[in-house]
Amino acid sequence: MQTLEKGSKKLLNAWAFYDWANSVYSLVIASSIFPIYYQALFSSAGIEYISIFGGTIRSTPLITYTTAIAFVFISILIPILSGVADFVGNKKVFMKFFCYLGAFSCMGLYFFSLENILTSLFFYLLALVGFWCSWIFYNSYLPDVAYPEQQDKLSAKGFSLGYIGSVLLLLFNLAMIMIPESFGLGDDGESKMKAMQISFVSVGIWWLLFSQYTFYFLPKGKRSNNKVTWHLLFDGYRELKKVYKSLTENKVLKRYLSAFFVYSMAVQTVMLVATYFGEQEIDWGSENQKTIGLISSILIIQLVAILGAQLTSLASGKFGNITTLIIINGIWAVLCVIAFFMTSPIQFYITAGFVGMVMGGIQALSRSTYSKFLPKTKDTASYFSFYDVSEKIGIVIGMLIYGFIDQYTGSMRNSIVFLMLFFIVGVILLMRVPKK
């Protein structure tokens, strides 16, 4: 295998293609079909609460808290992984491991059931851990493969490829769910559930298959004969401490990270719970219309997000990254208020279109803005580890707040409107970041 030069077209394309491979998880598992399947299990059983660990809990807070626990685990794991990866000098090994963990765990969701809820949730948790931990190493490759002037465009390209690839698989899965008889699955309600289960397996296969192109071209890094010791396991935390101290000398990066921590908390929470919100709070008419409506909404978001990521890249070139992020956060705050009053499918569709426009943009631009603000260093894994730990801790806080409000008020509407405050604070903090 040839070693590709930094900034070369083939290397940039190989890096971006991992978005194509793994984004099917975030679309099919995190955003669309799994949430529908999960809620359908409760609906078919005629229950809203389930007994677990000696208590009872609503279906949505249960999955919300499970997600939060997964991100707590990820936050603890990230520094250890980055420390070991830096030491042995081969990030790709770790990226591969978590890619495979996530892919096979997605396949394990085929067996998800209320009768074995703890085991089922464990597969869900492992799939989430695999996705995000592989994503961490993927992100840390950005400054390694691309020069600063290439990073905005490449980051947007990665998200766009991810949206296109995941939409293609979702369309296939949607056809299988809507007309299961054409796929030899029968034509009753059980057939639709079986089609959803098969879609989880398709995610794992897609993820495994297409990630190989990225793994083939990404640099391996320098091999080391050093042994991993217990002392080494805590090096990642020491590296995070060094990164934190370095922020005192980098006012721009410190202020940007503060803003990112707050608004990312809300963005990621909305993305993780949007389908559960639509399933419970929107009057779809029938179960069949609900399934079609929810998946169609997710498709709208994904397709519009492709345009959103590209427009955001153009806007950042004209107005600057920080100014563009301020505008996007303002739009997010307005959307939270609108969501509180939504009741009809058409309102949900329109809001989904606006969410898609700002969702792709804020993710791509946040990643590339951070990469630009980094000091000159070869230790990119530690800096991206700090970035990812900040994001994951934010998600834990966001999901716990969301689940708490949902559990004790009995409505997800109260939870979603509360997130508006985080976007407003994000705008205020972004205004404190020097524009140049």
pLDDT tens for each residue of 376-408: 765 666 777 777 788 888 888 888 888 888 877
Q: Determine, yes or no, domain membership for 387.
A: yes
Q: Determine, yes or no, domain membership for 231.
A: no
Rounded distance, CA 206 to CA 24, Å?
8
CB 306 within 8 A of CB 164: yes
Q: Determine, yes or no, domain membership for 273.
A: yes
Q: Determine, yes or no, domain membership for 435.
A: no
* Residue 204, pLDDT score: 96
Q: Residue 44 is encoded by which pair of tokens?
A: 């078919």
Q: Determine, yes or no, domain membership for 228.
A: no
User: Would the pTM count as exceeding 0.85?
Assistant: no
Rounded distance, CA 385 to CA 241, Å?
11
Mean pLDDT by 10 residues, the chain (436 residues): 73 89 89 87 83 81 89 84 66 89 95 91 94 84 78 78 86 88 80 91 96 87 57 71 77 85 87 80 80 82 78 83 89 90 87 84 81 70 76 85 81 83 92 76
Q: Determine, yes or no, domain membership for 29.
A: yes
* Residue 240, pLDDT score: 76
Give the total number of structural domains in the chain.
Answer: 1
* Residue 400, pLDDT score: 86
* Residue 127, pLDDT score: 95
Q: Determine, yes or no, domain membership for 53.
A: yes
* Residue 210, pLDDT score: 94
> CA dihedral defined by 155, 158, 160, 161, rounded to 10 degrees?
170
* Residue 380, pLDDT score: 64
Residue 87 C-beta-side C-alpha neighbours within 13 Å: 20
Rounded distance, CA 279 to CA 35, Å?
8
Mind giving me the DSSP string for 125-179? HHHHHHHHHHHHHHHHTHHHHS-HHHHHHHHHHHHHHHHHHHHHHHHHHHHHHH-
CB 114 within 8 A of CB 45: yes
Domain hosting residue 101, numbered range: 12-222+237-430
Q: Determine, yes or no, domain membership for 6.
A: no
Q: Which of 100, 92, 93, 94 is nearest to 218 (CA)?
A: 92
* Residue 415, pLDDT score: 83
Q: Scanning the structure block, which residue is given the tokens 């995941």? A: 166
Q: Residue 309 is encoded by which pair of tokens?
A: 């990521």
53 contact partners, CB below 8 Å, separation of at least 6: none
> CATH number for the domain including 323?
1.20.1250.20
* Residue 82, pLDDT score: 67
Rounded distance, CA 375 to CA 225, Å?
29
Q: Locate all alpha helices (DSSP H) within 46-147, ordered by sequence.
A: 59-88, 91-108, 117-140, 142-145
The count of residues in the chain is 436
